[in-house]
Chains A and B, each alone.
Chain A
């Protein structure tokens, strides 16, 4: 069996240079401020307490939530429950094959995911315990963290863990001075600045904001408005998906 460092990837195509045409159309035909079509489905797995599958364009994420349960690691007493996140990208999720162990960017994503969700979960309802959120990115087509945050919030709701509100997330990339909502991997590759916003839409509270690059205050305002609009759109889709899944579960119980 060859060690991984003895093989080289085969990539015949490099990423496209121009991601926005002169008429303001993106590579996949969307407008600058258009969201990708999102498919969200809770209760995707049987073994986990709560789970969700989210697909946004070519980004596919599966999340499973276990808990509240005893923490695997011995931790000090705490009156607030702990939220532990673990994000993993599948080895075939990206253009170049990833190593089969956790890398630094996965650890960073895990930390960011935990920050985005902690504020929404009512942690005082499960003291001394923890909830484990396991996220696996099956295909990475751009904005994995935003899709992961939305899917994880839906999975926590599916698990029946008390939350203040669902969390939805949206990101904006700046490419050649233009702001693109919900960027794909090709677009994110050419960006020179990005804003990621995670918020609780009904409570109108922001749980996380990640900004890279230099932003003027006017552009920042514009980006935030775009993100909030995206989050509200996603919120409607999330609630609808959760409600229909609940109805299905109740209907199945009545038949039995």
Chain B
């Protein structure tokens, strides 16, 4: 009995490796995908906040197998002359060499650079999720620079979605310590500076960073004229083209990227992608809010 079962699964695996397109087409013709999901359902998301204690805030996000870990570390800088009231948010993405058989250690890969640009576009240029004025400590003298570093640990498709959610979750749980600038130009916790002045004052709690907008992404693909939502790595290789749509909590479209591909999409299809992104937004926002409430309650 066991031998027959193992033979069946070996044959299915062999067929999948030799003819991936036909293997996938058989499932799509029945309206489901190899992992059992219907065409319009993205993978369930799980968010773990505050996993890394050495980071000022961290978020581990998984969509099925795709995993990204975002961590923020705060440092002090002198604001630039033309923007004395602003701090900085510096985003970097690294595809860890373990995430995919094609990755090798060494120079940052092109895929990582593209993700950096998409994140910069979504968070800073388009949605303006972070107001850099919030990162100022003392205008002209000191400001926070938040280094948001995202490591892709497992690359199983929809990386734009996973990294954006990880970045947003890490930013939402970032707490800026209360600091003051001494006469010598050093930045110390304001409780220390206050002790020197008035020892009876209570220590001030760190402030949460307020996000002006919460953008979240969804990647959809077009396979033989069917719209597939939430792609895995195998599906990304098989679809004719893919579209990444980013919407925010105010219902605005933050970005839509369709980077060419073997098929066109008409405007109705683009609208379908936006609608799918909005549905996904409601789902993800709920999970994110629950995770944040739980984290704040325990932290």
Whether B76 is near chain A, meaning CB under 8 Å from some CB there, is yes
| Closest CB in chain A relative to B157 CB, distance in Å | 10
Whether A63 is near chain B, meaning CB under 8 Å from some CB there, is yes
Give complex CA distance A48, B97 in Å.
10
> If the complex has contacts A10-B187, A45-B67, A139-B53, are A62 and B105 also in contact, measured as CB distance less than 8 A?
no
> If the complex has contacts A2-B145, A253-B6, are A90 and B101 also in contact, measured as CB distance less than 8 A?
no
Interface residues of B in 229-265 (CB under 8 A from A): 233
Do A46 and B5 touch (CB < 8 A)?
no
Give complex CA distance A69, B102 in Å.
12
Interface residues of A in 134-156 (CB under 8 A from B): 134, 136, 138-141
Do A45 and B153 touch (CB < 8 A)?
yes
Whether A74 is near chain B, meaning CB under 8 Å from some CB there, is no
For residue A86, which residues in chain B have a CB less than 8 angstroms away from its CB? 97, 105
Contact with B along A57-101 (1 / 0, CB 8 A): 010101110100100100000000000001010111111010010
Interface size on A, residues (CB 8 A): 42
> Which B residue sits closest to A102, measured CB to CB?
B105
Whether A1 is near chain B, meaning CB under 8 Å from some CB there, is yes
Give complex CA distance A10, B186 in Å.
10
For residue B189, which residues in chain A have a CB less than 8 angstroms away from its CB? 12
Do A253 and B9 touch (CB < 8 A)?
yes
Do A12 and B154 touch (CB < 8 A)?
no
For residue B74, which residues in chain A have a CB less than 8 angstroms away from its CB? 10
Contact with B along A152-187 (1 / 0, CB 8 A): 000000000000000000000000000000000000
| Closest CB in chain B relative to A71 CB, distance in Å | 11
Give complex CA distance A8, B98 in Å.
31
| Closest CB in chain B relative to A15 CB, distance in Å | 13
> If the complex has contacts A92-B55, A94-B54, are A12 and B75 also in contact, measured as CB distance less than 8 A?
no
Give complex CA distance A78, B294 in Å.
55
For residue A88, which residues in chain B have a CB less than 8 angstroms away from its CB? 96, 105
Name the contact of B77 in the complex, choosing from A6, A100, A102, A140 (C-beta under 8 A): A6
Q: How large is the interface on B (under 10, 10 to 19, 20 to 34, 35 or more residues)?
A: 35 or more
Do A254 and B98 touch (CB < 8 A)?
no
Segment of B87-95, B161-169, B268-276, B285-293 in the binding face:
B87-95
Count chain A CB atoms within 10 A of each CB in B2, B52, B72, B92 and give the residue with the most: B52
> Which B residue sits closest to A91, measured CB to CB?
B149
Do B233 and A47 touch (CB < 8 A)?
yes
Do A92 and B71 touch (CB < 8 A)?
yes
> If the complex has contacts A47-B155, A47-B156, A139-B53, are A7 and B104 also in contact, measured as CB distance less than 8 A?
no
| Closest CB in chain A relative to B23 CB, distance in Å | 15
> If the complex has contacts A1-B90, A51-B98, A136-B98, are A90 and B151 also in contact, measured as CB distance less than 8 A?
yes
18 residue pairs of the A-B complex, CB under 8 angstroms, read A2-B90, A7-B75, A7-B145, A9-B76, A10-B75, A10-B76, A45-B98, A45-B99, A47-B101, A64-B96, A64-B97, A91-B71, A91-B92, A95-B54, A100-B94, A102-B105, A138-B51, A254-B2
Known: A8-B75, A12-B189, A138-B51. 14 other contacts (CB 8 A): A8-B76, A46-B65, A47-B99, A47-B101, A58-B54, A62-B96, A86-B105, A90-B69, A92-B54, A92-B56, A92-B73, A132-B97, A134-B98, A139-B51
- Write the residues of chain B forming the contact surface with A, with a CB cutoff of 8 angstroms: 2, 5-6, 9, 51-56, 58, 65, 67, 69, 71-78, 80, 88, 90, 92, 94, 96-101, 104-105, 145, 147, 149, 151, 153-156, 177, 179, 187-189, 192, 233
